[in-house]
Amino acid sequence: MRRLTWYIMKKMIVNFIVLFTLFFLLGAVIDIVVNLDEFGKTASALSADSGIFVKIFTVIQVAVGYEGPRLFQVFAYLHGVIAIGAMCFTAANMLRSREFVAIMAAGISLQRIAIPFVYVMAGISVLALFNQEFMLPKVAPLLLRDHEESGSKSVSSFSVPFTKDSKGSLLLAPSVDPSTGVITEPSFLERDPIGRMVRQIKADSANWDEESNAGWILTNGVTVEIAFDVDSGQATTFTPQPIDFYETDLSPSILMLRRYSQYIGMLGMTQLNKMIDAKGAFGDETMLLRHWYSRFASIALDLSTMIIAIPFFVTKDEVVISRQAIKSGAIGLTILFGGMVVMLMPIAGIPAMVSVFLPSIVLIPIALLRGLTIRT
């Protein structure tokens, strides 16, 4: 039995790797062809005084550098769909070669045959969780690049307009570098309850304090206190004082989220936890919670979808393989993509922890019933 389990698992894993590789390469080649002019411009700028062969090599290097990190993003978003496809290919080949008949003749039930497919899906889902936690956050600055930025190692620096933290203080800066998390010439403005500035902190630059995760380490920072007369309202500015640290919950991740909405899907649970703890800094704590819980809800969604799709192929009945492939593909795509939309969609009156698991709550009983339809 163990040998049979490993045999089916290995066949499905090989099919998954082949399908994933083909899908990724197809998407990458199409993107490179469509945006070849942009890659060419970037390569020309990087190798302006070089020969034709060096320029061609630079184009290839720029294109690969741009498309390579997207492997982790494709795996995060499409591992479930590709796993369903791998199951279909594996089971269809075993049906076509009548391996199921031989296995059942040996007294092994179809339900037992179906279990290795679920094992592989579980393994792929756990691998996707590790990819989301450890790999995607590292390559996120590369994934946010436009094609025009394909020659850089991160998304371009961007300015920070007046941005409010959870205390009501404002941050203004002409530039923040996403790759290093360094802010150039930041200005922090603290206000009183009626909106008047009562303190201003300026610095040449600022680095986020990763150890405390509580604020920015300032370079050549100065702070200026401003007091207002109660009766006349006249402002009095005090002598500037040096300051080397400013406490705020506006971390580089928060600034990136304010700039790029898709960045939240590239964060790991550790980063999401830090942002949830900084209550009010992002402005939508429930969205952060939905993304946090979705990391686990997606595993239940993947497994439920696999169990629902398996009976299309693991059967003793004569079936038209192409028809079964269309059915399982349509149902699998609908469940996986529809489930992800529902998981991340706010539902009024329902806590994030519950709403994220709604698709799984609906699908698990259906999956169990589908599993029981597998008969020898």
Q: Write the Ramachandran bin of 163: left for phi over 0, alpha for psi from -120 to 50, otherwise beta.
A: beta
Asked if 312 and 210 sit in the same domain, the reply is no
In a domain, 336, yes or no: yes
Does the pLDDT value for residue 376 go beyond 70? no
Asked if 180 and 302 sit in the same domain, the reply is no
In a domain, 86, yes or no: yes
Asked if 10 and 74 sit in the same domain, the reply is yes
Asked if 175 and 323 sit in the same domain, the reply is no
Residue with the two structure tokens 């020898």: 376
In a domain, 331, yes or no: yes
Contact 140, 267 (CB under 8 A): yes
Asked if 13 and 100 sit in the same domain, the reply is yes
Element (H, E) at 173: strand 170-177
Contact 111, 3 (CB under 8 A): no
What is the Cα–Cα distance from 40 to 48, expressed in whole angstroms? 11
Mean pLDDT calculated for residue range 337-364: 93
In a domain, 274, yes or no: no
In a domain, 269, yes or no: no
Asked if 316 and 224 sit in the same domain, the reply is no
Indicate the pTM of the whole model.
0.85
Q: Which pLDDT belongs to residue 86?
A: 97
Any idea what the CATH number is for the domain that residue 196 is in?
2.60.450
What is the Cα–Cα distance from 251 to 209, expressed in whole angstroms? 9
Asked if 169 and 136 sit in the same domain, the reply is no
Distances from the Cα of 86 to the Cα of 5, 50, 79, 106, 286, angstroms: 16, 45, 10, 25, 35
Looking at residue 316, its amino acid is K
Burial class (CB in 10 A: 0-12, 13-18, 19+), 186: buried
Asked if 16 and 108 sit in the same domain, the reply is yes
Q: Which pLDDT belongs to residue 323?
A: 93
Q: Which pLDDT belongs to residue 16?
A: 98
Asked if 254 and 178 sit in the same domain, the reply is yes
Among 29, 132, 9, 31, smallest CA distance to 79 is for 132
Asked if 218 and 237 sit in the same domain, the reply is yes
In a domain, 301, yes or no: yes
Asked if 234 and 216 sit in the same domain, the reply is yes
What is the Cα–Cα distance from 226 to 336, expressed in whole angstroms? 56
Q: Transcribe 131-161 into DSSP letters.
A: IIIIIHHHHHHHHT--GGGTTSSSPPPEEEE
pLDDT in tens, 42-80: 988 888 777 888 888 999 999 999 999 999 999 999 999
Q: Name which of 24-28, 159-163, 305-309, 316-320 the model is least confident about.
A: 316-320
Q: Which pLDDT belongs to residue 280?
A: 59
In a domain, 307, yes or no: yes
pLDDT in tens, 201-213: 999 999 999 888 8
User: Averaging pLDDT over each range in 117-121, 177-181, 224-228, 351-355, which range is the top one?
Assistant: 117-121
Mean pLDDT calculated for residue range 157-185: 90
Asked if 312 and 243 sit in the same domain, the reply is no
Whole domain around residue 360: which residue ranges? 2-34+69-149+287-372
In a domain, 45, yes or no: no
Among 201, 164, 159, 189, smallest CA distance to 177 is for 159
φ, ψ of residue 173 in degrees (nearest 5): -155, 140
Domain count, the chain: 2
For the record, the structure tokens of 177 come out as 């570098």
